Every structure is written in structure tokens, then in C-alpha cells.
A = this chain, B = another copy of it.
């Protein structure tokens, strides 16, 4: 390891290193170099984050348009360190010049909790005399303290402790055996951990106590299933092969596939970042989005009893979707022909670390792309779809989030998120009701109601950065039934409302209006429809933030107050709940509400705009979610509307195509890209008329 790193650093220092795309994440040697530069001046800190400081957009736009003629933007590291006494320093390090550009003590904030921060708490908790005492009260003898576990969340915000000391709340559990699922055995009290002193400073104890659950373990891992029920034997292998390889190419981190080009970034906060997404429209490279990412999320729980109000994790801002990313495995998390990208980070000590196979890139068959049969003669064209997935999976304590960015041949970009993992649980005493704020999912296990609200940051670049957002609603005409204009009462249309200013840029979802949002370039009309070229945000899982206006969550998660906020682009505005999220009080709210309040009259018509979309779901648990949740999917679509002059994927080779002339002449059509390995399930020959392509011909 050390040798390898020295070699990398020396190759860098000798100038032989590859020039990175300015959006490429920092490499291990760049991280090491940034740390070394910081260490020269500040030796007494540990590292919270060393990540790419993305070049200013104006500079990047110039470079992207003329990569040969314009100077490549500098490589700069964005560094967060923590010194003694929980002092936080935010710095920028110029890697090209080898110097610190800025270094600031940032007061009253707490940077996110890293995996290392998390790891430490459990051993402290197990030795703390007060925790041992509380364990005794609920029925765990001191000799069983090794069976006590905790998920050490950030404290979120607790007004008794404020923001100055770096704190974690230890959600407590027990395992009868090390292989038992601890979420079956939640403990009823909650220690508060000081990360600076590495001590328990307080324990929240409920008024009514709940003894350790006596229910028998319920586990889902293979060893348990083998013992309990055995595995089902009736699921046969299904294999996916790509004999000629994949349909995408990748140069550095710029991927090209089916007319799409996209740069794949990754950082510790957002995880996957997709930049400079373009579509080759018959030879013209057309920009669609400048940058899209999951920028934040919040998971508020609905139980009002103290201290459950603190359970509203900002999984990206408080822990990091990148930091928590799983290392993926071939044929296991992903099937077919896979390209992986690793992710490089820094650890607390300043050493580069790597998550192998952090990002998975692969294709999947996507069913029928389009089909039409003429009922007159059964002339048919049927074409199958392919999709490209760029994905990562991250583990946020109990939960798993599987994030799939999906590109389609028809110009659609889809974000699919699958929720799996384990419910957060709390102790329930015998006879105690979990309703209405939760559900008893297993004897003695109370799974609280919660929401998963994701904030999708969309920086549209629809044929250029000057874009306008419209709220588009499906509405009936005003004219009444029987009137001249609407005699039969069937008139309806799309009512579009322009978002004029930042202060007027908030809108909520309305399912009754089939509301969508259009990111349009009003400077460029579709030559046929005369409507602005646009991408439409189609999102149907859009619950409102259920914590009330003025509540703690409402104050801290300002981005979740509306389904959509629109802002004018600002290089500094990446994090809608703030740059440092743990222990923010929400008074005043950071991020989106602050930016908008600071400049509500900022015009947004034909400006460089950013659309922030909060979507997700409300989860009322039930026993089938326990002890591990079957994955629940959610989808958001970005669909081209009036962007192309016709269906952009007509040139995908069909599976079969015949014309009326061919049918009339008694000739078959063309048999195109057919999966020749497809077979009838129970043998025999296919029964279709022609024998060649079944009923198609």
C-alpha cells in the first residue's frame, strides 16, 4: 500500500500523471497531496473530508466548449478538518500550485459523522457505568454488555446541548447472539456521546420503562434460514450474457452510450454526480443537464414522544451518501457485463482510502421500446429497448438505499431508488400500543411511522444554461358544458405557469392536476410544435413534509417544505440543508430557505436556474417489512418534451419489421435483433405462423 502510494505520488510530482477531467473526483494521490499540504501548516487536526472543489461553472462552461483552447480549470481540494475542542476548519487547497488557498475556523457548526466516528461509540457505550446501570434496569446484566450494540446517529439537534459540542445519540440494541438481528431487541434509553471527549454525557430515559424484549430471534441471513425453514428450491437460474460486450464506452469518467454522453463524478456527500449530460441529436451535441445529483435527504419519524423527535436523519448531509457506499459484487448486486468505478476518500488520519466497485455501470433489457401493428394487414414493427444504469448502494445504519440513474434510448433520464435494509425500531412493552405512531412489526418491536424525503438537485442545461421553469397542470377548460366553446364539455389543456422569481419559485405537488414541471429554453422553439424545447420532471411519489410548519424538522429541512424550489445558479449553493448539517437548529434555516430569503426578487426567466425537487414516500411499517424489507422502488423521470423533432430512437434496430408492401407481396419483413437464445418454456417448436418470427410476420 505504502509503496503503491509513493509511486503514485512520485509519478504525480514528476509531472507524468494523466490530466484529469476537471469534474473527476480527487484521486488517492491528490488526496494524499492535499493532506500533505495541510499538514505542513496544521498538524493538529483530523480529517473529515477531502473532496473535489468543483471549478466555477462559468469557467467550466468555457473549458467544455473549447477544451484545447482554454486553460484547464485547476484541481482544488475542498478540505474539512476537526481540531481539538471540536473546532472545525474549512479549507481550500490548490493542488496545482501546492498551496492552501483559504483556511477558516467555522464556528457553531458540526461536519458530518464519518464511518470512523460511528465505529467508536459502541465500545464507549459498553463501558460507561451509567449505560451499564440502564442496561441493568431493562434486564441486561453487566456481564452481557458485549451483547449491547448501538447505532450512533448524529444527535440531529437537541436544544439542551446546542451546536458547539460534537454529539451523537446512541440508539441502543441488544443481540442474544452476535448473529442475531439487533433491531428485534431495541432498548428504551438513549445515551448522548461527546465525540470530542469520547464520553457519554447524558442518557435520555423514558418515564415508562420497557424491559428487554423476550421474543425469539428472527433473522434473515443464510445460516438462520437454513436452520429455520431452509431455502426454497424452485427458483431456477436466469443468466444474462452480452457476447459482443457492452454498448457503452468510457474515457476517463466520461461515458458514451446510445447518443448520450455523461461525466460520472462521485463525492462523499451526494454519491454519484452526473455532469455535462448531452444527447447527440443526429450529429448535433445538445446539452440537457449540466449537473444532477441527490443533494440531500431527510427521514423524519412520526412519534412525538421525546427523544424520538431527534430521529430525522439527513443521510447525505449528516453521514454522506458517498462515505456509506457499498463495495459491489459481480453477479450478485449486478448481473451481466459490468464496469465498476472505485471511490477514493480520506480517513480521519489523513490517509487515502478506497471503496472498490463503488459505482456499477451496466445495461439492461428494457422490454418493448415501441411497437405498432396495422390492423389491416398485420404489418408490424417491434423494437426492444435497452437502458443504461449507473448505480450505487449505500447503507445508512439500518437502512439501505439503492440509487439507479437510468438513461433511456428515447432521451429520458430516470432516477430509481430502491429502499431496503432494516426498519429503525424502538422497544414496546407488553400490552403497550404502537398505534398510531408506529406498528408492532414483531412481538415487542415498535417500528415508527417515517418518511424518506430526497432532494434531487437538477441544474438544467436545455440547449444552454438560460432556462425557465414552468409549473404544468392538466386542467379542464373554463367554459361550461353546453357553451359554444365547449358544447360537449370535453375540452382540456395544459396550463403552464412561469416561475418568475426565486421568491415565487416554490410549488407543491398536486396529483389531481397531474402536475409536472418543465425546464424549458424559451429562446429555442421546437420547429414543429413551436413550443420551447424542454425537459419535464415527472414525479408521482411526492408526499408533503408531514412534520408541521414551525416544527424542528420543518426548520432544519427547509428544502422539504415544498416539492419544488427554483433558484438562480450559484457556485456556492450545492447543499440545500447547509454545508454542515449536524446540529443545525433550523433557526434560521440553512440552505434553500436562506438563499431564497436573501434574494427573493431574483429573476428566473431565461436565467441559469437550478430546480430542487423533494420527493419520496411515507412509510407506515407492517410486519412484512421485518426483519429485512423487500426493496420498495420509487421513480422520477426527466422526459424530453418538444426537445426533439421526432421520436429520437427510431433508428434502434427492430426485432422485427414488415411493411404493408412486404405483406402484400407475401414476403416476410426483416428479422432484426432477436434474442436467438430465447426458448419455449416447456420445449417444442414455436407455434407462430411463419416459423421464423412467430406471429410477427
The answer to whether A373 and B395 have CB atoms under 8 Å apart is yes
Task: Tell yes or no: A465 within 8 A of B by CB.
Answer: no
Asked if A552 and B410 sit within 8 Å, CB to CB, the answer is no
Question: In the bound complex, do residue A678 and residue B334 qualify as a contact, i.e. CB atoms below 8 Å apart?
Answer: yes
Q: A622 within 8 Å of B by Cβ?
A: yes
Question: Hey, which chain B residues are within 8 Å of A511, CB to CB?
Answer: 509-512, 540, 542-543
A59 to B531, CA, bound (A): 59
Residues of B near A617 (CB, < 8 A) are: 514
In this complex, what residue of B is CB-closest to A669? B222
**A207 close to B (CB within 8 Å):** no
**A652 and B231: CB pair below 8 A?**
yes
A241 to B241 Cα, complex, angstroms: 8
Check B627–A646 contact: CB distance below 8 A.
yes
Q: How large is the interface on A (under 10, 10 to 19, 20 to 34, 35 or more residues)?
A: 35 or more
Query: Which of B475, B680, B688 lies in contact with A356, CB distance below 8 A?
Result: B688
> A547–B687 contact, CB under 8 A?
no
Given A368-B402, A512-B509, A631-B368; A494-B696 close (CB under 8 Å): no
Within 8 Å CB of A480, what residues of B? 548
Chain B contacts for A235, CB-based, 8 A: 247, 258, 386, 652-653, 673
Is A169 an interface residue when CB atoms closer than 8 A count as contact? no
Contact B623 A381 (CB under 8 A): no
Name the interface residues of A63-106: CB closer than 8 Å to any CB of B. none
Q: List 21 A-B contacts (CB under 8 A).
A: A220-B650, A229-B282, A234-B247, A238-B241, A302-B491, A302-B493, A329-B694, A331-B678, A335-B675, A339-B682, A342-B687, A357-B687, A370-B630, A372-B398, A372-B420, A372-B422, A381-B628, A481-B548, A492-B618, A512-B544, A540-B541
Query: Is the Cβ of B304 less than 8 Å from the Cβ of A477?
Result: yes
Per-residue CB proximity of A276-312 to B under 8 Å, as 1/0? Answer: 0000001000000000000000001111101011001
Q: Is A429 an interface residue (CB 8 A)?
A: no
Does more than half of chain A's interface fall in helix, strand or loop, or is it mixed? loop
- Is B693's CB under 8 angstroms from A628's CB? no
Contact A365 B335 (CB under 8 A): yes
Chain A 667-679 against B: per-residue CB contact (8 Å), 1 yes, 0 no? 0011011111111
User: Which 6 A-B residue pairs are closest in the complex by CB-CB distance?
Assistant: A327-B695, A511-B511, A489-B551, A329-B694, A410-B630, A309-B488
Within 8 A of B (CB), among A475-493: 475-477, 479-481, 485-493
A232 within 8 Å of B (CB atoms): yes
**A443 CB within 8 Å of chain B:** yes
CB-defined contacts of A411 to chain B, threshold 8 Å: 624
Assuming A218-B646, A229-B282, A330-B694, what are 9 further A-B pairs, CB within 8 angstroms? Answer: A119-B375, A178-B661, A327-B688, A361-B681, A369-B420, A475-B546, A480-B548, A508-B512, A514-B618
Assess the A681–B339 pair: CB atoms within 8 A.
yes
Write the chain B residue with the least CB distance to A332: B655
Find the B residue at minimum CB distance from A354. Answer: B687
Residues of B within 8 A of A666 (CB): none
Specify which chain B residues have a CB less than 8 angstroms from the CB of A400 in the assembled complex.
371-373
